[in-house]
């Protein structure tokens, strides 16, 4: 007999949770090892997570499948919650069982429902227990899906995120107190005095802050002066009455601790150190109205509730990590983050300064050791201009990563700014992995054991703007690696006063596969020694537990089994920073599936999710082994300081309280209520955050005093309103209830349709207008509202006006007089008359390289598309002044030629031109993708979401779709192949392979290409080879081979497993009588001819500065680029005749070449294969120098008189016109003294005929 849990004596709870002892089971699951029944009651709903890590059950692909939850004991139930996935069961039943075996109690009998959109979303639904079953004690419940929803015409399994069974009404958070002391993080002890009068700040108040408290006093005064308009002098002495008094009494045990007392008489705060009193100042800020944070002077009642507080932190390390390496964050943006961190007592800023995508800290050549020939300035001159490309984590936009770097002066400025706010900067140079930016910049690092081995053609690793990880590494066997790191860390250590430097150490997957864990650990040991020798303590991600750590060295635990980390603490004396991604610490993870940027492979959710775990329990260690907690943010899909803020706040504030407040004092429902008051503070301070539905946001309204002239209609800014979670139509303000494919709804204390009115204080009222620079959207929280009204005062005077917003009111004073200034608008305005302009630093650039771009005159915060020709490169987003400066990447594989570069923002656009050249092979004569068809394949993943996974995705002309070999039930084994049918019999010239765009999974390494006449008979491959591990297209040239079918075979991938993926395959060939393009080059010494399929047999002999005639045939009508690959510079751009694809141009050999030099002129055109013209520089021929001849000893014989006199006297100047610039000079002959006689006769004869002989004189030595 079952024991029934009492309902009346206990609060309602969800008895279906695994933590309550309930066990799940199901009739089956769609994928073995994934999406099993254990996900049904784990308390996790994460629709934003990567598909393999989503916590949902997915049924077998049959109807009438079911899931069951069996309770630890029988319970009377109030209601059932089922959180359906969008692939729901349109017809379903929920059945109850009193014995756990027989399900004969229908809670819902053949219910129907509409499945939610979009795909992957969560849709919670509540089903009440019928009245007739209210007294039943249920041992189990079962959800049966009678049919499945078709998706794309295919019925997969149906999915459920979670099943809940509640014993009563779900608890609701308590209402907020009328006079709240809503402090975050929660202090150790808070004693409010609700009946006592509050403290009121007056214009006469002072801040008394002697000695070590002075800096904290000045900090507080700066904030309060801006919003109150009060003088607030900071003085060394004074009594408490009406003032704020700060002091320091040293206590080394809890240096960050403080005591604070607020009464009607004044505020006193005593810190245990300068840092402690600074922490007290942050608490004082939160005791005043939220508009204290305003940058504008406002009218408000500046009161602080009476309270006694004593406080000290749980952990010493409470941090946030920024990732400027992937997408740059400016100095000003970093400072703004530091300000918000300090406000919530976060005291460690971890800067991830280098990764695969970019290098962000200047390193000079000063102090290089003997023999070190590395040019360290290349780190920023080259890899400071690289960054992330657009990323799959971005929804509905494709903003490119931002480029740039910190000079050493910039870095020192950040360090000092942080230190002034008691925030310690911890720099990170991640090694030995995550080092592609260093390998891209420094040739010497590309040694035999590194992830990229330098070659004459490619001395450094290609830049990589993807989010791929684990592929790059430094050479563990090369001393150059450690010379480099010693120099880099030495300079960073000299600029970093803090005791820690982060060495990274994570995700060196390819390094350990190639070199083994012993070499990896040995590399880490060398770095640990370098840092210790510099007087710094190393921090590393949890993989560094393999290193020979010393007591006090720190491991940052982010993922995986905690056992090795615990062992390092126990056996090596290491200490921990806990940043557990699976619990809720990674700030780059999406809030939900609608979040338009961010990732979803780890724990997603809002600030309550990030709050609801304990670092001590996560690692099962005592607090004294834990330095603290940190919230990392990675920037694969995050762009700019505002997006950094949006993803960091409020969740990093959850981590702040986790690190500050004792675990037994923390309660998530209480935290939600206190956080409701923090939103208006951030809005008033112009800080972005996610104002989602987790709490009901409070508001803050304050008037703005003004002035005007009498009898003149004026527009007044009457008030500022901070109201997170709301929207406006320009007249009213309402909670944002939009819940569609893009928007997440929110909640606010403000009423729906709240009107804004102004009582002008002269007996008149009118409606006000609501303006904002930042309406609430999926990308940002609701910005500050500027409330404006139009009015004319008839007479001079001082008027007390009142602004009403729904139930909120505030006051302002308007002074009217002939000598008063007109009111000035407070809302920053953008000059829409500015003309859009775009420019680039280099108008000639190599494909794959970065080119700094500058755009101005565009609307702020509105994305603009960037086009190279017709190819969209991505998007940029202008700053508040309408500008954006960063380096764009010319896509690898871009065909050479002249391109318009356009920036387009709706009706606003600007353009410039650039010339692109390429060292890489071009696919000759691409056959149109719609002329190709799939003739066969080894396998395809038809369980992917179409069109992905299918073989046809490899030739659909879309590089963002992909073919995948079958990866389960059963997984296909290598080799894999795709057979492609051509439109006719063609001379196949090449294949272009483009990897899958959004993932390196299954990236092809070794390949073979076959050509067949009938698609059935395949002989030996026409070419085999290996592809690089890059996301760029690779052209595979093929010796011309006739056929109608092409097979692309994949024998291995870069990960070493059996998967294979392809983004796109293109075939190049001559079909239907097409002829290969060719070029002949003619110099004074002769001619050569080369074509797409036949290279020149010998080089053309040329001389320095010589003009060469180039004649091309069988080109298309696109521009032809001739490029000198030896000097890496353009020779010319030609335009063929559209009618026959022929052209003839003159190209000039550089004048600065020398005899014996060899040049290669590359002739390229979109759609045409590369043609190369080899040139050999020879000595320029010179006229022979004759021996000098002595003057004649006798007069020459006289010449007979001409028969006719000339008709005019000679002019003294030749009458023959000078040769035109285009005329070729005739060969010249030298005339010597012995020839003077016949020359004189010739001149006389020609003169008689009215002609002139032009002679060249040469001085004889």
pLDDT in tens, 357-410: 999 999 999 999 999 999 999 999 999 999 999 998 899 899 999 999 999 999
Band of pLDDT at residue 1254, cut at 50, 70 and 90: very low
In whole angstroms, give the CA distance from residue 544 to residue 567: 12
Which pLDDT score, from 0 to 100, does residue 1223 have? 36
Q: What is the pTM assigned to this prediction?
A: 0.77
User: HSE of 1142 in the Cβ direction (CA atoms, 13 Å)?
Assistant: 5
Check: CB of residue 640 under 8 Å from CB of residue 647: no
Per-residue pLDDT, 1139: 66
Closest Cα partner for 1173 from 1089, 1251, 1259? 1089
Nearest to 58 by CA among 165, 146, 145: 145
Distances (CA, A) of 425 to 338, 412, 486, 1086, 1225: 10, 10, 20, 67, 72
**Mean pLDDT taken over the chain:** 90
Element (H, E) at 767: strand 765-767
The CATH number, out of the four listed (3.90.1300.10, 3.20.20.80, 3.40.50.1970, 1.10.8.50), of the domain defined by the range 317-557+574-587+624-660: 3.20.20.80
1191 pLDDT higher than 80: no
CA–CA gap between residue 890 and residue 895 (Å, rounded): 10
Residues 549-579 have pLDDT tens digits of 999 999 999 999 999 999 999 999 999 999 9
Weakest mean pLDDT among 538-542, 857-861, 1190-1194: 1190-1194
DSSP 299: B
Q: 755 an active-site residue? A: no
Q: Which of 324, 327, 331, 442 lies closest to 887 in space, CA to CA?
A: 327
**Strand stretches in 572-616, DSSP E:** 575-578
Give percent above pLDDT 90 in the chain: 76
929-1071 CATH choice from 1.10.3720.10, 2.170.150.70, 2.60.120.260, 3.40.50.620:
2.60.120.260
Q: Which tops the pLDDT comparison, 1150 or 1007?
A: 1007
Query: pLDDT tens digit string along 89-133?
Result: 999 999 999 999 999 999 999 988 888 766 667 888 999 999 999
Query: Is the Cβ–Cβ distance between 858 and 903 less than 8 Å?
Result: yes
Residues 611-646 have pLDDT tens digits of: 999 999 999 999 999 999 999 999 999 999 999 999
CATH class for the domain made up of 837-917: mainly beta
For 177, the 3-state DSSP assignment is coil
Whether the CB-CB separation of 146 and 64 falls below 8 Å is answered with yes
Q: What is the number of alpha carbons within 13 Å of residue 124 lying toward its C-beta?
A: 13
Residue 1102: predicted pLDDT: 95
Residue 1202 has pLDDT above 60, yes or no: no
Annotation: CATH topology of 189-311: Chitobiase; domain 2 (3.30.379)
pLDDT of 175 higher than 50: yes
Indicate whether 1242 pLDDT > 60.
no
pLDDT at 928 over 80: yes
**Tell me, what's the pLDDT at 1185?**
53
Q: Which residues pair with 164 in a beta bridge?
A: 81
* The pLDDT of residue 1222: 37
pLDDT class for 898, splitting at 50, 70, 90? confident
Is 1175:1161 a contact under the CB 8 Å cutoff? yes
Identify whether the C-beta of residue 660 lies closer than 8 Å to the C-beta of residue 793: no
Q: At what angle do helices 274-287 and 214-228 cross, to 10 degrees?
A: 20
Looking at residue 1140, its pLDDT comes to 73
pLDDT of residue 174: 55
Catalytic residue among 333, 507, 771, 1092: 507
- Confidence check: pLDDT of 251 > 60: yes
Question: What residues are paired with 1009 via a beta bridge?
Answer: 1023, 1048
pLDDT digits (tens, 9 = 90+) for 232-249: 999 999 999 999 999 999
In CATH terms, the fold of domain 1078-1177 is Immunoglobulin-like (2.60.40)
CATH classification of 700-816, choosing from 3.90.1150.10, 2.60.40.10, 2.40.50.100, 3.10.20.600?
2.60.40.10
Burial class (CB in 10 A: 0-12, 13-18, 19+), 568: buried
Residue 186 near residue 672, CB atoms below 8 Å: no
Q: What is the pLDDT of residue 249?
A: 95
Closest CA to 96 of 57, 65, 127, 56: 127
Please give the Cα distance from 554 to 499 (Å, whole number).
12
User: Rounded mean pLDDT of 840-854?
Assistant: 91
Name beta bridge partners: 926. 1068
Q: Is 716 helix (H, G, I), strand (E, B) or coil?
A: strand
Give the class (CATH, top level) of 18-166: mainly beta
Contact 258, 270 (CB under 8 A): yes
Distance CA 941, CA 955 (A): 15
Per-residue pLDDT, 5: 43
Residues 6+ apart with CB under 8 A from 143: 66, 67, 82, 92, 93, 94, 160, 163
Domain locations along the chain: 18-166, 189-311, 317-557+574-587+624-660, 700-816, 837-917, 929-1071, 1078-1177, 1188-1261
Give the integer Cα–Cα distance in Å for 464 and 451: 13
- Using the predicted structure, report yes or no on whether residue 1239 has a pLDDT greater than 60: no
Identify the pLDDT of residue 1213. Answer: 37
Instruction: Provide mean pLDDT across the span 912-940.
Output: 90
The answer to whether residues 579 and 556 touch, using CB atoms and an 8 Å cutoff, is yes
pLDDT value for 1194: 45
Of the pLDDT bands very low, low, confident and very high (cuts 50, 70, 90), residue 1256 is very low
pLDDT at res. 1188: 52
Alpha-helical segments (H) within 238-292: 274-287
Per-residue pLDDT band for 1128 (boundaries 50, 70, 90) equals: low
Segments of 76-113 assigned E as strands: 79-85, 91-97, 105-112
Residues 986-1013 have pLDDT tens digits of: 999 999 999 998 788 899 999 999 999 9
Mean pLDDT of 509-523: 96
Q: Same topology for domains 18-166 and 929-1071, yes or no?
A: yes
H/E/C letters for each residue in 774-836? CCCECCECCCCEEEEEEECCCCCEEEEEEEEECCEEEEEEEEECCCCCCCCCCCCCCCCCCCC
């Amino acid at each position: 007999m079952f024991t029934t849990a009492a309902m009346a004596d206990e609060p309602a709870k969800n008895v279906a949770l695994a933590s309550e002892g309930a066990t799940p089971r199901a009739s089956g699951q769609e994928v073995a090892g994934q999406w099993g029944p254990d996900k049904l009651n784990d308390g996790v709903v994460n629709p934003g997570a990567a598909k393999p890590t989503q916590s949902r059950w997915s049924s077998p692909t049959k109807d009438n499948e079911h899931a069951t939850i069996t309770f630890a004991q029988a319970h009377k139930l109030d209601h059932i919650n089922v959180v359906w996935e969008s692939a729901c069961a349109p017809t379903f039943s929920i059945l109850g069982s009193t014995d756990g075996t027989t399900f004969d109690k229908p809670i819902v009998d053949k219910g129907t429902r509409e499945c939610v959109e979009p795909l992957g979303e969560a849709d919670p639904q509540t089903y009440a227990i019928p009245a007739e079953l209210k007294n039943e004690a249920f041992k189990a419940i079962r959800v049966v899906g009678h049919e499945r929803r078709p998706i794309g015409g295919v019925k997969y399994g149906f999915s459920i995120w979670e099943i809940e069974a509640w014993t009563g009404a779900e608890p609701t958070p308590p209402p907020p107190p009328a006079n709240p002391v809503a402090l975050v993080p929660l202090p150790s002890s808070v004693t409010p005095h609700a009946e006592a009068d509050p403290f009121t700040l007056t214009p006469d108040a002072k801040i008394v802050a002697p000695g070590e408290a002075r800096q904290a006093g000045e900090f507080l005064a700066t904030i309060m002066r801006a919003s109150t308009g009060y003088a607030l002098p900071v003085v060394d002495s004074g009594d408490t009455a009406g003032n704020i008094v700060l002091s320091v009494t040293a206590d080394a045990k809890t240096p960050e601790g403080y005591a604070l007392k607020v009464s009607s008489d004044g505020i006193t705060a005593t810190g245990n150190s300068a840092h402690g009193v600074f922490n007290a100042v942050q608490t004082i800020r939160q005791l005043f109205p939220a508009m204290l944070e305003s940058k504008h002077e406002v009218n408000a009642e500046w009161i602080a509730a009476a309270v006694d507080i004593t406080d000290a932190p749980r952990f010493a390390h409470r941090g946030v990590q920024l990732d400027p390496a992937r997408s740059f964050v400016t100095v000003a943006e970093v400072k703004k983050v530091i300000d918000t961190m300090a406000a919530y007592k976060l005291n460690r800023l971890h800067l991830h300064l280098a990764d695969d995508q970019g290098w962000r800290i200047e390193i000079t050549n000063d102090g290089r050791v003997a023999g070190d020939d590395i040019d360290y300035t290349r780190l920023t001159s080259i890899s400071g201009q690289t960054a992330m490309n657009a990323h799959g984590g971005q929804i509905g936009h494709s903003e490119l990563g931002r480029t740039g770097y910190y000079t050493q002066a910039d870095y020192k400025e950040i360090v000092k700014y942080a230190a002034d706010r008691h925030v310690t900067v911890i720099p990170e140079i991640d090694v030995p992995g995550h080092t592609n930016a260093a390998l891209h910049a420094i040739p010497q690092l590309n040694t035999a054991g590194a992830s990229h081995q330098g070659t004459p053609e490619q001395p450094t690793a290609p830049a990589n703007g993807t989010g791929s990880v684990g592929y790059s590494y430094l050479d563990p066997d090369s001393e150059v690696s450690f010379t480099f790191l010693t120099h880099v860390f030495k300079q960073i250590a000299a600029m970093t006063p803090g005791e820690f430097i982060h060495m990274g150490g994570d995700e060196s997957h390819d390094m350990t596969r190639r070199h083994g864990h012993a070499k990896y650990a040995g590399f880490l040991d060398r770095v640990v020694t370098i840092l210790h020798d510099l007087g710094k303590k190393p921090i590393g991600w949890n993989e560094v537990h393999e290193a020979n750590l010393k007591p006090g060295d720190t491991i940052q635990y982010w993922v995986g089994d905690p056992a090795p980390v615990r062992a390092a603490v126990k056996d090596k004396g290491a200490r921990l920073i806990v940043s557990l991604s699976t619990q809720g610490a990674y700030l780059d993870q999406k809030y939900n599936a609608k979040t338009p940027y961010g990732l979803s492979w780890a724990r997603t959710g809002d600030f309550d999710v990030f709050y609801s775990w304990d670092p001590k329990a996560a690692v099962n260690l005592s607090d004294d082994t834990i330095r603290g907690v940190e919230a990392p943010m990675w920037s694969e899909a995050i762009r700019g300081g505002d997006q950094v803020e949006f993803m960091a706040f409020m969740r990093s504030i959850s981590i702040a309280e986790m690190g500050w407040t004792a675990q037994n004092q923390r309660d998530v429902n209480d935290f939600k209520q206190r956080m409701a008051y923090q939103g208006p503070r951030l809005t008033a301070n112009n800080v972005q955050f996610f104002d989602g539905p987790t709490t009901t946001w409070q508001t803050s309204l304050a008037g703005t005093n003004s002035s005007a002239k009498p009898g003149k209609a004026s527009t007044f800014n009457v008030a500022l309103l901070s109201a997170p979670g709301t929207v406006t139509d320009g007249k009213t303000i309402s909670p944002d209830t939009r819940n569609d494919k893009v928007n997440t709804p929110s909640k606010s204390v403000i009423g729906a349709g709240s009107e804004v009115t102004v009582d002008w204080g002269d007996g008149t009222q009118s409606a006000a207008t609501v303006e904002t620079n930042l309406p609430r959207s999926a990308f940002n929280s609701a910005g500050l509202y500027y409330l404006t009204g139009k009015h004319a005062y008839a007479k001079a005077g001082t008027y007390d006006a009142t602004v009403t917003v729904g139930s909120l009111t505030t006051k302002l004073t308007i002074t009217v007089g002939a000598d008063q200034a007109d009111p000035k608008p407070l809302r920053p305005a953008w000059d829409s008359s500015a003309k859009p302009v775009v420019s680039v630093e280099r108008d000639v650039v190599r494909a794959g390289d970065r080119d700094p771009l500058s755009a101005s005159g565009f609307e702020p915060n509105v994305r603009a598309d960037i086009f190279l020709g017709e190819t969209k490169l991505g998007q940029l987003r202008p700053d508040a002044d309408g500008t954006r400066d960063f380096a764009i990447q010319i896509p690898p594989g871009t065909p050479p030629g002249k391109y318009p570069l356009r920036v387009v923002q709706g009706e606003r656009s600007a353009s410039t031109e650039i010339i692109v050249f390429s060292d890489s092979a071009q696919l000759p004569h691409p056959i149109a993708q719609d002329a190709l068809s799939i003739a066969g394949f080894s396998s395809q993943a038809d369980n992917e979401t179409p069109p992905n996974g299918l073989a046809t995705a490899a030739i659909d002309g879309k590089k963002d779709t992909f073919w995948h070999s079958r990866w389960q039930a059963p997984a296909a084994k290598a080799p894999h192949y795709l057979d492609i049918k051509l439109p006719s019999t063609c001379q196949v010239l090449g294949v272009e392979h483009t990897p899958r765009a959004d993932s390196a999974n299954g990236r092809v390494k070794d390949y073979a290409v076959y050509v067949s006449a009938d698609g059935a008979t395949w002989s030996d491959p026409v070419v085999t080879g290996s592809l690089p591990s890059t996301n760029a297209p690779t052209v595979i040239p093929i010796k011309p081979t006739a056929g109608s079918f092409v097979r692309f075979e994949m024998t291995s991938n870069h990960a070493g497993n059996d998967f294979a993926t392809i983004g796109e395959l293109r075939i190049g060939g001559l079909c239907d009588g097409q002829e290969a393009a060719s070029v002949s080059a003619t110099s004074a010494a002769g001619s050569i001819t080369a074509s797409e399929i036949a290279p020149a047999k010998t080089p053309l002999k040329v001389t320095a500065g010589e003009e060469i005639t180039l004649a091309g045939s069988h080109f298309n009508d696109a521009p032809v680029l001739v490029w000198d690959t030896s000097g890496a510079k353009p020779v010319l751009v030609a335009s063929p005749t559209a009618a026959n694809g022929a052209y003839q141009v003159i190209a000039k050999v550089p004048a600065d070449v020398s005899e014996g030099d060899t040049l290669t002129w590359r002739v390229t055109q979109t759609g045409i294969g590369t043609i190369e013209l080899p040139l050999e520089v020879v000595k320029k021929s010179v006229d022979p120098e004759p021996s000098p001849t002595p003057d004649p000893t006798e007069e020459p014989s006289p010449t007979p008189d001409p028969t006719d006199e000339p008709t005019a006297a000679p002019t003294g100047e030749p009458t023959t016109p000078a040769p035109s610039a285009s005329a070729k000079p005739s060969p010249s002959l030298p005339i010597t003294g012995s020839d003077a006689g016949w020359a004189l006769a010739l001149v006389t004869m020609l003169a008689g005929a009215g002609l002139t002989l032009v002679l060249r004189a040469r001085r004889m030595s």
